[in-house]
Structure 1
C-alpha cells in the first residue's frame, strides 16, 4: 500500500521530470519521483540512522 504526499517543485524540475517520462526513462512522473526518493534514502539512510543511534546513546 502506498501513501500519497504532496510536494511543490519549481517549474523547471517539473518540466525535466516530464521530459524524462516523454523520453521513456520512466512510465510516469510519480515513478520518477519514487525513484529519486529511493536513491536519496539509499544514499543517506545509513548515516541518519547511525547518527540517531549515537544521539539516543548519549542521552
Structure 2
C-alpha cells in the first residue's frame, strides 16, 4: 500500500475521528479509504469511457 498526504479542514477531521470513536471505522485512514472507494465506484466508469474516446 502506498502512502499519500492530504490536508482536510479541522471540522472534517473531527467528524472522521467521531466516526472512529463510534465504531463506524477502525481508523481514520480506513474511513478515508472507504470514501475513496465510493468515489472511484461512482466516477471511474465515466472517466475511463471519456479517456477511451480521447484515444481515437
Please tell me the root mean square deviation across aligned C-alpha atoms, in Å: 0.4
TM-score by length of 1: 0.93
Runs of 5+ consecutive residues of structure 2 not aligned to the other structure? none
Structure 1 residue 38: deviation in Å?
Answer: 0.3
Greater Rg over alpha carbons, structure: 1
For 1:37 and 1:6, the matched residues in 2 are separated by 14
Runs of 5+ consecutive residues of structure 1 not aligned to the other structure? none
TM-score by length of 2: 0.98
Q: Report how many aligned residue pairs link the two structures.
A: 56
